Amino acid sequence: MVRSRILVAAVLLFTSGCRMGAQVVVWQPPQMESAVGKRIAVPPIVGPNEITEPIREKMLTLAPRDAGRQLVAVAPETLNASESIRLVSGTDDVNDIALASVAEQADIDYVMRGRILTAQTGQQAGESRAFDPNVPLAVSWRLTSASDHRLVGGAPVVVDLKSAIETYPDLALVADPNEALATAAVREAYRLIAPSFTLQDVELAAPYALPGSKAIRRGNALAKSGRWGDAQAIWETTLEKHPTQTAAIHNLAIAAAAGQDFSKAKALIRRAIRRQPTGLSKRSMAWIETMQRQYHKAFDLPDPPEGWFITNEDGS
Protein backbone atom coordinates (compact mmCIF):
# COMPACT_ATOMS: atom_id res chain seq x y z
CA MET A 1 0.00 0.00 0.00
CA VAL A 2 2.79 2.43 0.92
CA ARG A 3 4.72 1.57 -2.23
CA SER A 4 1.57 2.20 -4.32
CA ARG A 5 1.14 5.65 -2.79
CA ILE A 6 4.78 6.48 -3.43
CA LEU A 7 4.40 5.35 -7.05
CA VAL A 8 1.29 7.50 -7.56
CA ALA A 9 3.05 10.51 -6.05
CA ALA A 10 6.04 9.98 -8.31
CA VAL A 11 3.85 9.75 -11.40
CA LEU A 12 2.10 13.00 -10.51
CA LEU A 13 5.43 14.72 -9.88
CA PHE A 14 6.92 13.62 -13.16
CA THR A 15 3.84 14.43 -15.24
CA SER A 16 2.75 17.71 -13.69
CA GLY A 17 6.11 18.75 -12.25
CA CYS A 18 6.68 22.13 -10.70
CA ARG A 19 4.78 25.30 -11.49
CA MET A 20 6.12 28.33 -13.24
CA GLY A 21 4.57 31.78 -13.39
CA ALA A 22 4.03 34.04 -16.37
CA GLN A 23 1.96 37.16 -16.94
CA VAL A 24 -1.07 37.66 -19.17
CA VAL A 25 -3.28 40.63 -19.98
CA VAL A 26 -6.58 40.59 -18.09
CA TRP A 27 -9.32 42.96 -19.25
CA GLN A 28 -11.51 44.80 -16.75
CA PRO A 29 -14.91 46.41 -17.43
CA PRO A 30 -15.41 50.16 -16.91
CA GLN A 31 -15.95 51.03 -13.27
CA MET A 32 -18.88 53.38 -13.93
CA GLU A 33 -20.40 53.02 -17.42
CA SER A 34 -18.95 52.28 -20.82
CA ALA A 35 -18.51 55.39 -22.95
CA VAL A 36 -16.83 53.51 -25.80
CA GLY A 37 -17.78 55.02 -29.15
CA LYS A 38 -19.23 58.13 -27.48
CA ARG A 39 -18.36 61.83 -27.35
CA ILE A 40 -17.38 63.07 -23.91
CA ALA A 41 -17.31 66.72 -22.88
CA VAL A 42 -14.55 67.48 -20.38
CA PRO A 43 -15.08 70.98 -18.93
CA PRO A 44 -12.37 72.72 -16.89
CA ILE A 45 -11.61 70.88 -13.65
CA VAL A 46 -12.42 72.55 -10.35
CA GLY A 47 -9.22 73.35 -8.44
CA PRO A 48 -5.89 75.16 -8.70
CA ASN A 49 -5.01 75.89 -12.31
CA GLU A 50 -1.44 74.66 -11.86
CA ILE A 51 -2.86 71.20 -11.16
CA THR A 52 -6.08 71.12 -13.16
CA GLU A 53 -4.84 72.45 -16.49
CA PRO A 54 -2.22 69.70 -17.13
CA ILE A 55 -4.76 67.03 -16.16
CA ARG A 56 -7.49 68.41 -18.40
CA GLU A 57 -5.10 68.81 -21.32
CA LYS A 58 -4.16 65.15 -21.02
CA MET A 59 -7.82 64.12 -20.67
CA LEU A 60 -8.40 65.73 -24.07
CA THR A 61 -5.30 64.30 -25.77
CA LEU A 62 -4.97 60.85 -24.18
CA ALA A 63 -8.52 59.58 -24.69
CA PRO A 64 -8.43 55.87 -25.67
CA ARG A 65 -8.24 55.37 -29.43
CA ASP A 66 -7.47 51.66 -29.77
CA ALA A 67 -10.10 49.27 -31.14
CA GLY A 68 -12.76 48.37 -28.62
CA ARG A 69 -11.92 51.32 -26.35
CA GLN A 70 -12.07 54.34 -28.62
CA LEU A 71 -13.95 57.46 -27.54
CA VAL A 72 -13.75 61.19 -28.25
CA ALA A 73 -12.99 63.78 -25.56
CA VAL A 74 -14.08 67.33 -26.35
CA ALA A 75 -13.50 70.70 -24.70
CA PRO A 76 -16.99 72.29 -24.56
CA GLU A 77 -15.69 75.82 -25.10
CA THR A 78 -14.27 74.86 -28.51
CA LEU A 79 -17.61 73.78 -29.94
CA ASN A 80 -19.63 75.88 -32.34
CA ALA A 81 -21.95 77.03 -29.65
CA SER A 82 -24.42 79.51 -28.33
CA GLU A 83 -23.98 81.69 -25.32
CA SER A 84 -24.93 78.77 -23.09
CA ILE A 85 -21.85 76.83 -24.18
CA ARG A 86 -19.68 79.61 -22.81
CA LEU A 87 -21.21 78.95 -19.40
CA VAL A 88 -19.46 75.60 -19.24
CA SER A 89 -16.69 76.37 -16.81
CA GLY A 90 -14.76 74.91 -13.91
CA THR A 91 -16.70 76.83 -11.29
CA ASP A 92 -19.27 75.46 -8.86
CA ASP A 93 -21.90 77.81 -10.37
CA VAL A 94 -22.61 75.37 -13.21
CA ASN A 95 -24.17 72.09 -12.06
CA ASP A 96 -24.02 68.72 -13.79
CA ILE A 97 -27.53 68.95 -15.27
CA ALA A 98 -26.80 72.36 -16.76
CA LEU A 99 -23.58 71.03 -18.26
CA ALA A 100 -25.42 68.03 -19.70
CA SER A 101 -28.10 70.25 -21.23
CA VAL A 102 -25.47 72.38 -22.93
CA ALA A 103 -23.58 69.31 -24.15
CA GLU A 104 -26.70 67.74 -25.63
CA GLN A 105 -27.05 70.69 -27.99
CA ALA A 106 -23.64 69.86 -29.44
CA ASP A 107 -24.16 66.08 -29.94
CA ILE A 108 -22.23 65.20 -26.79
CA ASP A 109 -23.17 61.93 -25.09
CA TYR A 110 -21.67 62.48 -21.65
CA VAL A 111 -20.16 65.19 -19.49
CA MET A 112 -17.23 64.11 -17.35
CA ARG A 113 -16.52 66.71 -14.71
CA GLY A 114 -13.55 66.65 -12.37
CA ARG A 115 -12.69 68.30 -9.09
CA ILE A 116 -9.47 68.27 -7.07
CA LEU A 117 -10.39 66.75 -3.72
CA THR A 118 -7.47 67.70 -1.50
CA ALA A 119 -4.53 70.03 -1.61
CA GLN A 120 -1.32 68.04 -1.97
CA THR A 121 0.76 70.20 0.32
CA GLY A 122 -1.83 70.70 3.07
CA GLN A 123 -3.05 74.01 1.66
CA GLN A 124 -6.73 74.62 0.99
CA ALA A 125 -8.00 73.52 -2.39
CA GLY A 126 -8.22 76.49 -4.72
CA GLU A 127 -4.93 78.11 -3.73
CA SER A 128 -2.43 78.61 -6.53
CA ARG A 129 0.46 76.21 -6.37
CA ALA A 130 2.26 73.62 -8.46
CA PHE A 131 2.25 69.83 -8.26
CA ASP A 132 3.90 68.10 -5.36
CA PRO A 133 4.73 64.71 -6.94
CA ASN A 134 5.67 63.28 -3.54
CA VAL A 135 2.09 63.58 -2.24
CA PRO A 136 -0.94 61.63 -3.55
CA LEU A 137 -3.14 63.45 -6.05
CA ALA A 138 -6.91 62.95 -5.59
CA VAL A 139 -9.45 63.86 -8.28
CA SER A 140 -13.19 63.27 -8.02
CA TRP A 141 -15.00 62.53 -11.30
CA ARG A 142 -18.73 62.74 -12.06
CA LEU A 143 -20.24 61.34 -15.25
CA THR A 144 -23.57 62.75 -16.45
CA SER A 145 -25.60 61.60 -19.43
CA ALA A 146 -26.42 64.44 -21.80
CA SER A 147 -29.49 62.75 -23.27
CA ASP A 148 -31.50 62.33 -20.07
CA HIS A 149 -29.45 64.40 -17.58
CA ARG A 150 -28.89 61.23 -15.57
CA LEU A 151 -26.04 61.17 -13.10
CA VAL A 152 -24.32 57.97 -14.17
CA GLY A 153 -22.00 57.90 -11.21
CA GLY A 154 -19.04 59.39 -9.46
CA ALA A 155 -15.73 58.03 -8.23
CA PRO A 156 -12.43 59.34 -6.89
CA VAL A 157 -9.07 58.66 -8.50
CA VAL A 158 -6.07 58.75 -6.19
CA VAL A 159 -2.53 58.36 -7.51
CA ASP A 160 0.98 58.83 -6.17
CA LEU A 161 4.20 58.78 -8.12
CA LYS A 162 5.58 55.51 -6.72
CA SER A 163 2.47 53.41 -7.32
CA ALA A 164 1.89 55.13 -10.67
CA ILE A 165 5.27 53.93 -11.94
CA GLU A 166 4.59 50.44 -10.58
CA THR A 167 1.28 50.33 -12.46
CA TYR A 168 2.57 52.04 -15.60
CA PRO A 169 6.32 51.24 -15.91
CA ASP A 170 6.69 53.46 -18.98
CA LEU A 171 6.17 56.50 -16.74
CA ALA A 172 9.58 55.84 -15.19
CA LEU A 173 11.03 57.16 -18.46
CA VAL A 174 9.20 60.49 -18.10
CA ALA A 175 11.72 63.06 -16.86
CA ASP A 176 9.16 65.44 -15.34
CA PRO A 177 7.48 63.86 -12.28
CA ASN A 178 4.57 66.29 -12.61
CA GLU A 179 3.86 65.02 -16.11
CA ALA A 180 4.12 61.40 -14.97
CA LEU A 181 1.66 61.98 -12.12
CA ALA A 182 -0.82 63.81 -14.35
CA THR A 183 -0.61 61.05 -16.97
CA ALA A 184 -1.26 58.37 -14.36
CA ALA A 185 -4.26 60.30 -13.02
CA VAL A 186 -5.74 60.53 -16.53
CA ARG A 187 -5.18 56.85 -17.29
CA GLU A 188 -6.93 55.93 -14.05
CA ALA A 189 -9.78 58.31 -14.89
CA TYR A 190 -10.39 56.59 -18.21
CA ARG A 191 -10.63 53.26 -16.41
CA LEU A 192 -13.93 54.61 -15.09
CA ILE A 193 -15.55 54.77 -18.54
CA ALA A 194 -13.60 52.43 -20.83
CA PRO A 195 -12.29 48.84 -20.63
CA SER A 196 -8.81 48.60 -19.18
CA PHE A 197 -6.27 45.88 -18.63
CA THR A 198 -3.95 44.71 -15.92
CA LEU A 199 -1.22 42.09 -15.90
CA GLN A 200 -1.93 38.96 -13.89
CA ASP A 201 0.29 36.04 -12.95
CA VAL A 202 -0.76 32.61 -14.22
CA GLU A 203 0.55 29.14 -13.47
CA LEU A 204 2.22 27.02 -16.12
CA ALA A 205 2.88 23.31 -15.77
CA ALA A 206 6.60 22.49 -15.68
CA PRO A 207 7.03 18.69 -15.93
CA TYR A 208 10.18 16.67 -15.35
CA ALA A 209 11.42 13.21 -16.32
CA LEU A 210 8.93 12.59 -19.13
CA PRO A 211 9.73 12.92 -22.84
CA GLY A 212 9.41 16.53 -23.95
CA SER A 213 9.62 17.98 -20.45
CA LYS A 214 12.72 20.01 -21.20
CA ALA A 215 11.12 21.56 -24.27
CA ILE A 216 8.01 22.49 -22.30
CA ARG A 217 10.09 24.23 -19.67
CA ARG A 218 11.92 26.09 -22.43
CA GLY A 219 8.54 27.27 -23.71
CA ASN A 220 7.64 28.34 -20.19
CA ALA A 221 10.71 30.55 -20.03
CA LEU A 222 9.69 32.22 -23.31
CA ALA A 223 6.15 32.81 -21.99
CA LYS A 224 7.57 34.33 -18.83
CA SER A 225 9.51 36.83 -20.95
CA GLY A 226 6.32 37.71 -22.85
CA ARG A 227 7.05 35.68 -25.99
CA TRP A 228 3.78 33.75 -25.93
CA GLY A 229 3.76 33.01 -29.66
CA ASP A 230 7.17 31.33 -29.52
CA ALA A 231 6.17 29.43 -26.39
CA GLN A 232 2.99 28.19 -28.02
CA ALA A 233 4.90 26.92 -31.05
CA ILE A 234 7.22 24.88 -28.80
CA TRP A 235 4.32 23.39 -26.81
CA GLU A 236 2.47 22.45 -30.00
CA THR A 237 5.54 20.75 -31.46
CA THR A 238 6.17 18.93 -28.18
CA LEU A 239 2.58 17.67 -28.04
CA GLU A 240 2.84 16.37 -31.62
CA LYS A 241 6.00 14.42 -30.73
CA HIS A 242 4.82 13.33 -27.28
CA PRO A 243 1.00 12.99 -27.19
CA THR A 244 1.08 11.93 -23.52
CA GLN A 245 2.45 15.31 -22.40
CA THR A 246 -0.61 16.66 -20.62
CA ALA A 247 1.43 19.62 -19.39
CA ALA A 248 1.72 20.81 -23.00
CA ILE A 249 -2.07 20.76 -23.35
CA HIS A 250 -2.45 22.69 -20.10
CA ASN A 251 0.03 25.37 -21.17
CA LEU A 252 -1.55 25.65 -24.62
CA ALA A 253 -4.86 26.36 -22.87
CA ILE A 254 -3.22 29.18 -20.92
CA ALA A 255 -1.66 30.52 -24.13
CA ALA A 256 -5.07 30.54 -25.83
CA ALA A 257 -6.52 32.48 -22.89
CA ALA A 258 -3.60 34.92 -23.10
CA GLY A 259 -4.66 35.57 -26.70
CA GLN A 260 -8.33 36.01 -25.65
CA ASP A 261 -9.35 32.83 -27.50
CA PHE A 262 -11.26 31.59 -24.48
CA SER A 263 -13.40 29.00 -26.26
CA LYS A 264 -10.24 27.24 -27.48
CA ALA A 265 -8.69 27.62 -24.03
CA LYS A 266 -11.65 25.93 -22.34
CA ALA A 267 -11.65 23.08 -24.84
CA LEU A 268 -7.95 22.48 -24.22
CA ILE A 269 -8.10 22.66 -20.45
CA ARG A 270 -11.07 20.26 -20.35
CA ARG A 271 -9.00 17.89 -22.48
CA ALA A 272 -6.14 18.19 -19.99
CA ILE A 273 -8.49 17.52 -17.07
CA ARG A 274 -9.91 14.39 -18.75
CA ARG A 275 -6.38 13.06 -19.15
CA GLN A 276 -5.07 14.10 -15.76
CA PRO A 277 -7.39 15.92 -13.31
CA THR A 278 -4.72 17.70 -11.27
CA GLY A 279 -5.40 20.54 -8.90
CA LEU A 280 -3.51 22.87 -11.23
CA SER A 281 -5.64 22.04 -14.26
CA LYS A 282 -8.87 22.43 -12.28
CA ARG A 283 -7.77 25.83 -10.96
CA SER A 284 -6.81 26.84 -14.48
CA MET A 285 -10.25 25.87 -15.76
CA ALA A 286 -11.89 28.16 -13.20
CA TRP A 287 -9.41 30.94 -13.96
CA ILE A 288 -9.96 30.74 -17.74
CA GLU A 289 -13.73 31.00 -17.46
CA THR A 290 -13.51 33.81 -14.91
CA MET A 291 -11.25 35.76 -17.28
CA GLN A 292 -13.64 35.05 -20.13
CA ARG A 293 -16.55 36.47 -18.14
CA GLN A 294 -14.58 39.62 -17.37
CA TYR A 295 -13.62 39.98 -21.03
CA HIS A 296 -17.24 39.63 -22.20
CA LYS A 297 -18.38 42.14 -19.59
CA ALA A 298 -15.60 44.60 -20.45
CA PHE A 299 -16.59 44.71 -24.13
CA ASP A 300 -20.33 44.03 -23.67
CA LEU A 301 -20.22 40.74 -25.59
CA PRO A 302 -22.94 38.06 -25.62
CA ASP A 303 -22.47 34.70 -23.92
CA PRO A 304 -20.06 32.37 -25.79
CA PRO A 305 -21.59 29.69 -28.06
CA GLU A 306 -20.41 26.89 -25.75
CA GLY A 307 -21.95 28.58 -22.71
CA TRP A 308 -20.53 28.70 -19.20
CA PHE A 309 -19.36 25.52 -17.55
CA ILE A 310 -18.39 26.21 -13.96
CA THR A 311 -18.82 29.87 -13.04
CA ASN A 312 -21.88 31.94 -12.19
CA GLU A 313 -22.77 35.38 -13.54
CA ASP A 314 -20.92 37.04 -10.68
CA GLY A 315 -17.78 35.03 -11.59
CA SER A 316 -17.97 32.73 -8.56
100-130 per-position pLDDT tens digit: 666 667 789 999 999 998 655 444 444 445 6
Positions of the chain with pLDDT lower than 50, given as ranges: 1-16, 82-93, 121-128
| pLDDT score recorded for residue 38 | 95
User: What is the number of other CB atoms lying within 10 angstroms of the CB of residue 255?
Assistant: 26
Q: Compute the distance between CA of residue 303 and CA of residue 140 in angstroms, rounded to an integer.
A: 34
List the one residue out of 163, 169, 152, 170 whose CA is nearest residue 185. Answer: 163
List the one residue out of 265, 143, 257 whose CA is nearest residue 202. Answer: 257
| pLDDT score recorded for residue 310 | 81
| pLDDT score recorded for residue 101 | 66
| pLDDT score recorded for residue 1 | 44
Kindly calculate the radius of gyration of the chain based on its CA atoms and give it in whole angstroms.
Answer: 25
Please report, as a single letter, which amino acid is at residue 214. Answer: K
